[in-house]
């Protein structure tokens, strides 16, 4: 076996180390740049160490736009999205998994199609619809388009199917209602999958730029990615302040990195373990 081969192990270590360094390099460079003065970034020479420690860059970046508001908006709107998705996906996944009803195949196929449709292909009508009911530039406008998650339905359905069927069947024979089966058998057995879904989709929506860019137009409603994208806008006479941009970048990434650090085990376990079919 490979694992017993010493040379093989060494080669593996070298390969992994090399790739890990390649992954870390941009992050390192971003941190260096965030700590440098903007002028020193324009120097020709390569510097592997910041020119002075300009911690104030982080404060300047933070105050260059109202980042406190943006974080609040990002967390609130994406928290609501994930909460709604958990509810709709759980119900749908339960229906698909444990209620053998006619039309399920068609409904499932539709859900499957839904996973393929990118926001970018349909944003104009969605915008027009929400504009009609005056929900543009509101939290509802940020949240509503995403309350259904086709991916969530798939993921949870798969997790639900891993629950021993005998458990469900026995409860049914005992006359347990669907609500009871869902609440006391299915959900406790699918915790890992639920958390995985919540984490993955929170990160996905926290990261996404396109819809918030279009659906918000006041400072009070903007989210983090929109604020970041404004650093790149160029007009004559305004060279980008790269150091502040990188500092803002780091500030924006910290929350998801923390979530990721806390939830990595669950994400990986969730991705690897819930799919065992009975």
Partner 1 sequence: MTQTEQTIVQSNALDELRTARHLAPGRASRRARRMRLLITDATGWLFILPSLLALTVFLFVPAGYVFFLSFQRWNLISANPQYVGLHNYLHLLNAPDFQQSIINTFWFGFFMIIILLPLGLLLAVLLDMGLKGTKIYRTILFAPYVVPLVASGLAFSLMYNQSFGLIDQVLALFHISGPDWLGTSTLALPSVLAMTIWQYLGYYVIIFLAGLQNVAHALREAAAVDGANARQTFWHVILPSITPSLFFAFIICTIQAFQTFDQVYVMTQGGPAEATSTLVYYIYEQGFQMYNIGTASAASIVLLLFLALLTWFQVSLGRRWVVYD
Partner 2 sequence: MKKTNLIPAVATVLSLTTVLGSSVAMASTTHHTSAPVQISFWYGIGGALSQDVQMLVSQFNKTHPGIHVTATYEGSYSGGGPEQQKLLAAIRAGDAPDLAQMEVHSMPVFALAGRLLSLTDYMKSSPHDKPSDFITGMLESTEFGGQYYGVPFNRSVPVVYYNETMFKKAGIANPPSTWQELMADAKKLTHGSGDSKVYGFEPLVDWWPFEASVWSGGGHIMSANRSQATFATSAGEQVLSMEQQLVKQGYAKVQTGPNYWTDTTESFAAGQTAMDIDSPGSAEEVVKAVGNKFDWNTAMFPADVTRAVPPGGADAVIMASTPVNLRPAAWTFIQWWTDPAQSARWSELTGYVPVAKGALNSPGFQAFVKAHPYMKAAIAELKYQHASPASAQYLTLLQYVQQGLQSAFDLGKPVSQAMQQTQQQVNSSLSN
Map tokens 């192990």 to a residue: 9
Please tell me whether residue 220 binds partner 2 under the rule CB under 8 A. yes
Please tell me whether residue 139 binds partner 2 under the rule CB under 8 A. no
Binding partner of residue 219 among partner 2, partner 1, none, CB cut-off 5 to 8 Å per kind: partner 2
Please tell me whether residue 41 binds partner 2 under the rule CB under 8 A. no
Helix-helix angle 150-161:104-116, to 10 degrees: 130
Number of C-beta neighbours around residue 142 at 10 A = 27
Q: How far is the CB of 145 from partner 1 (least distance, A)?
A: 5
In angstroms, the CA 73 to CA 212 distance is 10
Please tell me whether residue 40 binds partner 2 under the rule CB under 8 A. no
Q: How far is the CB of 47 from partner 1 (least distance, A)?
A: 8
CB within 8 A of 241, min separation 6: which ones?
38, 231
Chain-centroid distance of CA 278 in Å reads 30
Closest CA to 230 of 70, 122, 72: 70
Please tell me whether residue 217 binds partner 2 under the rule CB under 8 A. yes
Pick 63 or 264: Cβ nearer partner 2: 63
Please tell me whether residue 239 binds partner 2 under the rule CB under 8 A. yes
The per-residue DSSP string of 191-246 comes to: HHHHHHHHHHHHHHHHH--HHHHHH--SGGG--HHHHHHHTT---TT----HHHHH
Contacts with partner 2, 177-216, as mask; x by CB under 8 A: ------------------------------------xx--
In angstroms, the CA 110 to CA 276 distance is 25
Please tell me whether residue 238 binds partner 2 under the rule CB under 8 A. yes
Please tell me whether residue 119 binds partner 2 under the rule CB under 8 A. no
Please tell me whether residue 118 binds partner 2 under the rule CB under 8 A. no
Q: How far is the CB of 96 from partner 1 (least distance, A)?
A: 7
Q: How far is the CB of 174 from partner 1 (least distance, A)?
A: 11
Binding site for partner 2 (CB under 8 A): 42, 63-64, 66, 127-128, 130-131, 134, 136-137, 213-214, 217-220, 229-230, 232-241
């Amino acid at each position: 076996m490979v694992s017993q081969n010493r040379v093989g192990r060494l080669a593996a270590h070298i390969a992994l180390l090399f790739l890990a360094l390649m992954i870390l390099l941009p992050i390192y460079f971003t941190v260096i740049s965030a700590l440098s003065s903007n002028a020193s970034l324009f120097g020709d020479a390569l510097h592997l160490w910041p020119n002075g420690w300009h911690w104030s860059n982080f404060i300047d970046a933070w105050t260059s736009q109202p980042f406190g508001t943006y974080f609040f908006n990002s967390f609130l709107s994406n928290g609501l999205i994930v909460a709604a998705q958990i509810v709709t996906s759980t119900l749908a996944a339960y229906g698909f998994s444990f209620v053998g009803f006619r039309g399920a195949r068609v409904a499932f196929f539709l859900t499957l199609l839904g996973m393929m449709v990118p926001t970018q292909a349909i944003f104009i009508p969605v915008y027009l619809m929400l504009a009609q009911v005056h929900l543009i530039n509101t939290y509802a406008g940020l949240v509503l388009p995403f309350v259904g998650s086709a991916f969530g339905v798939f993921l949870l359905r798969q997790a639900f199917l891993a629950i021993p069927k005998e458990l469900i069947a026995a409860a049914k024979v005992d006359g347990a209602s669907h609500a009871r089966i869902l609440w006391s058998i299915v959900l406790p057995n699918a915790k890992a999958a639920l958390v995985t879904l919540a984490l993955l989709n929170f990160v996905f929506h926290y990261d996404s730029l396109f819809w918030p860019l279009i659906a918000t137009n006041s400072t009070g409603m903007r989210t983090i990615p929109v604020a970041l994208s404004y650093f790149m806008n160029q007009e004559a006479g305004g060279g980008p302040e790269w150091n502040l941009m990188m500092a803002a970048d780091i500030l924006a990434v910290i929350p998801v990195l923390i979530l990721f650090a806390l939830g990595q085990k669950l994400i990986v376990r969730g991705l690897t373990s819930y799919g065992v079919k009975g």
